[in-house]
Structure 1
Amino acid sequence: MTHIQGAVLLTCTMIIVAGCGQLITPVADTTPVVATDTPMPTVTRRPTYTPAPATPAPTATPTITPTPIVYTVQPGDTLLAISAEFGVAAQAIQEANGIIDPRRLQVGQPLIIPGPETDPERPPTPTPTPLPLSVERLNFLPTPADGLWVLGEVHNPGSDYVCEALVRVALLDGQGALVAAEEAFAQLDVVSPGNNVAFAILFTDPPPQFAQYQAGVVAAVPFSPHTRYYLDLTATDLHAEAVGADRYRVTGRLHNRGALDVERVRLLVTGYDEQRRVAGVRQATLAVSVLRAGAVTPFAVELAMVGSPINTYSVQAQALALP
């Protein structure tokens, strides 16, 4: 089990806008909250195939747009994609438009695309080299509807916090030709130094067979001190057990050990099989609006065991510090 700890005042590009509601005090526990997002279904595997990693394709270098413009969000747009298209840092677009959670962009929303900051005596600097994140513990799990889940974790081997990691998985045939590709963000916004955060990518119409794959982090945002991300949360009193043949239930108490009140607390439970591959992922938003400094709230989360039993698990949590 890994625990994310830290006291970092954080909100980068991908966090959920806060709401108002009941307050949790340090002396009062609430009734356990069961996550309500829909779990992944239990599946029956197709005939086994063993894809092999392929040589990653080089990452394109964005160009820099010299003057500010206004861009209208289109269906399928993400902040990172817009950032790459215009060659402007995602953080700059976020700050220029007051975006709290970049995953909540609305179709038709106008965005100011700022120009790069330049020194008149020197040319603009290029977009920084992508941070050295890696993908680990991959697991390919077919679904009953002939889809394919690809589960894994983003690993941060560096010494800096990284936000908004975007993972791409490409499926290739025996000759190395691309047959399908999908992208998804890591399940939590911040990947701490030396730690992992799970991701889950669904191919709704994968090829019947594929011989190779490419998997990697294609974009990420360096952590900025001007964010409200808050990591000083610890899961305690943990208990886990199998519930029937296809469920794995994790319960415990989430403790705000820091000095700040927080909102939009999100809990991530990741299950691992005997080979330490990711076998189940569940990210839940607890039904509390504010967690006071020093407060504790109980939680209960169930994972679907998709294809193989879960032997071990980890619990992580992140939140936003109140402004």
Structure 2
Amino acid sequence: MAVRVRGSVRGRAGEIRWKVLMLSLTMAACGRVVSGRPSPTPVSGSTPTIPSTGTPIVVRVPTPTPVLPPTPSPTPIIYVVQPGDTLYSIALRYGVSVSALQEANGITDPALLQIGQELVIPTPSPGGEPVRPPTPTPMPLLVQGFGCAASALGSLSCVGEVVNPQPHPMRNVQVQIVLRDGEGRELSAGIAGTGLDILSSGGRSPFALVFNAIPPGYARAEARVVRAEPTQEPGNRYGPVELVRSEGGIEGADFVVRGRVRNADAGPMRRINVVVAFYNEQDQLLGFRQVVFSEEPIGPGATRDFEVRFAAADVHMFRVFVEGQR
């Protein structure tokens, strides 16, 4: 017997569509979910934004230090010690301190300065105070026999003597020499030291200073003691030296003095200073010569011979001064 199914074609078609829709929903639930908001496409040339992590990181770039070119070292000045020079007068000439001059040359005792010795002149410190000449102050010492004479080379040589009338010895004696014009205006000036380190009570010592050129308008010169210090020497550092003999006379164009000195101390001397001063008939100083023995220690009782020459026709007499340093 045949079975008859009710319904229409339209009803079966709707059923089929319902089943297809359910099947699609089931497959979608088993796959990946596609967001409805599309990912942005990077644009060429732009920088993507990095999300903050919460704590900012600061990177400091060091400031470059400029490299300066090296400063060239100045050429050192070498000065050769001349007769009458002292550390003080040399320091004053170059505008440096005496202590800086001693340190630059390893000098522990200024009294050991020698004629012909080469000194390195230190460079004054930047911004440092310039060294000024001392203000002339009256000192209890006298200047006598002072005079200046021009040479054929155009220089001016000034000489004189310092006399100590005090009851005690003096040391570090400095004499200021000033050249003036006819109206008294200062043209040039310099500092001279004495030939002897120690001026005993009642003693004397010559000094000299040479100006390389005579300033225009020069009319006269004057000299005054601007520094002197009392001392207990000789005694501790300075000892007795004996003048054994001395004789002098004219030989050709020179006046020649020869002599001998002896170490009269109980110990060795490391330096013996001999100063020979020459005078005219009026007992005015014409000049002096200096001989220093310091190459090696001079033992007790040991002697040294000396000879000096002075080119002056009017020498009438001479004096010999000696001193020794332990």
Taking structure 1 as the reference length, the TM-score comes to 0.59
Change (3 A) 1:212 1:300: closer
State the Cα deviation string for residues 148-198 of structure 1 (Å, max 9, x = none).
Answer: 101111111101111121111111122111112121111121111111111
Q: Is the 8 A contact 1:152 1:278 kept in 2?
A: yes
From 253, 265, 270, the counterpart of 2:260: 253
Query: How far is 1:206 from its partner?
Result: 1.5
- In structure 2, the residue matched to 1:316 is 321
> Bigger relative contact order, structure 1 or 2, given CA contacts below 8 A and separation 6+?
1
Q: Does the alignment pair 1:108 with 2:117? A: no
RMSD: 3.7
Structure-2 change in CA distance of 1:174 and 1:318 (3 Å): same
The alpha carbon displacement at 1:99 in A equals 2.5
Q: 1:249 to 1:75 in 2, by over 3 A?
A: closer
* 2:206 counterpart (198, 203, 208): 198
In 1, Cα distance between equivalents of 2:315 and 2:107: 41
Shift in alpha-carbon separation, 1:149–1:226, aligned structure 2, 3 A: closer
**In structure 2, what is the equivalent of residue 12 of structure 1?**
none
Consecutive unaligned residues in structure 1, runs of 5 or more: 1-36, 40-72, 85-89, 111-128
Change over 3 Å in CA distance of 1:261–1:215 after alignment to 2: same
Equivalent in the alignment of 2:279: 272
Give the distance between the partners of 2:123 and 2:108, measured in 1 at CA: 11
Aligned partners of 1:109, 1:191: CA distance in 2, in Å?
33
Which of the residues 294, 307, 322 maps onto 2:301?
294
Q: Secondary structure at the match of 1:250?
A: strand
Change (3 A) 1:264 1:226: closer
CA pair 289-228 structure 1, distance change in 2 beyond 3 A: farther
1:185 alignment partner in structure 2: 193
Q: Identity percentage over the alignment?
A: 27
Instruction: Tell me, yes or no, if the aligned pair for 2:96 and 2:123 is still in contact at 8 Å.
Output: no
Aligned-partner Cα distance in 2 for 1:265–1:279: 23
| Cα distance in 1, alignment partners of residues 162 and 323 from structure 2 | 16
2:291 maps to 284
Deviation for aligned residue 1:300: 1.5
Query: 2:122 aligns to what SS in structure 1?
Result: coil
Report the secondary structure of 2:270's partner residue: strand
Q: State the Cα distance separating 1:216 from its structure 2 match.
A: 0.8
Q: Which residue of 2 aligns with 1:263?
A: 270
Could you say which residue in structure 2 is the equivalent of 1:234?
A: 242
Given that residues 251 and 301 in structure 1 are in contact (C-alpha distance below 8 angstroms), is that contact kept between their aligned partners in structure 2? yes
- Which of 229, 234, 237 is matched with 1:221 structurally? 229
Contact residue 130 and residue 220 of structure 1 kept, 8 A = no
Report if the CA contact (8 A) 2:180-2:220 is conserved.
yes
Alpha carbons 1:75, 1:107 under 8 Å: kept: no
Counterpart of 1:159 in structure 2 is: 167
Deviations 1:62-111 (A, max 9, x none): xxxxxxxxxxx9994259x9789xxxxx9xx99xx98212658753399x
* C-alpha distance after superposition, 1:244-279 (max 9, x if no partner): 12x111111102223232112121111001121111
The residue type paired with residue 237 of structure 1 is: R
Aligned to 1:211: 219
- One-letter code of the match for 2:296? S
Q: CA deviation at 1:210?
A: 3.2
Q: Distance in 2 between matches of 1:290 and 1:155?
A: 30
Pick from 304, 316, 321 the counterpart of residue 311 of structure 2: 304
Deviations 1:4-36 (A, max 9, x none): xxxxxxxxxxxxxxxxxxxxxxxxxxxxxxxxx
8 Å CA contact 1:154–1:196 kept in 2: the answer is: yes
What is the number of equivalent residue pairs in this alignment? 223
How many angstroms does 1:286 deviate by? 2.7
Query: Residues of 1 paired with 2:123 and 2:244: CA distance?
Result: 41
Task: Tell me: CA distance 1:302–1:98, structure 2 relative to 1, closer, same or farther (3 Å).
Answer: closer
Residue 176 of structure 2 is aligned to residue 168 of structure 1:
yes
**Which aligned pairs between 1:85-164 and structure 2 lie closer than 5 A?**
99-101=108-110, 106-108=120-122, 131-164=139-172
Q: Please report the TM-score for the alignment, with normalisation by the length of structure 2.
A: 0.59
Cα distance between partner residues in 2 of 1:134 and 1:267: 22
Q: Is the 8 A contact 1:267 1:315 kept in 2?
A: yes
